[in-house]
Amino acid sequence: MLAARVDLKVIQKRLGHRDFATTADTYSHLLQGAQGQAVKRMHELLKKRAAKLPPKSVENTG
């Protein structure tokens, strides 16, 4: 379910875990791989956002 991007809270309910921490602790090793994917996605979003910004003016302060 994590690979399918199902929210961890939904997974908790589906598995019948009483506490969210139980689910998070049990499957945290799987979430570590998702961190790299999240960083990559955020990088792409920021690049797209930066491409839409007007060019920054450079002032001569010398």
Over residues 2-44, the pLDDT tens digits come to 878 899 899 999 999 999 999 988 887 776 677 788 888 999 9
Asked if the model's pLDDT at residue 60 lies above 70, the reply is no
DSSP annotation of 29: H
| Tokens at 6, concatenated | 């199902």
What pLDDT score does 57 carry? 64
In one letter, which amino acid is 45?
L
54, 46 Cβ separation under 8 angstroms: no
Sign of CA dihedral 10, 14, 19, 20: negative
Q: In the block, which residue shows the tokens 């809270």?
A: 9
- Which pLDDT band, with edges at 50, 70 and 90, does 47 fall under? very high
Q: Which pTM was predicted?
A: 0.49
What pLDDT score does 45 carry? 93
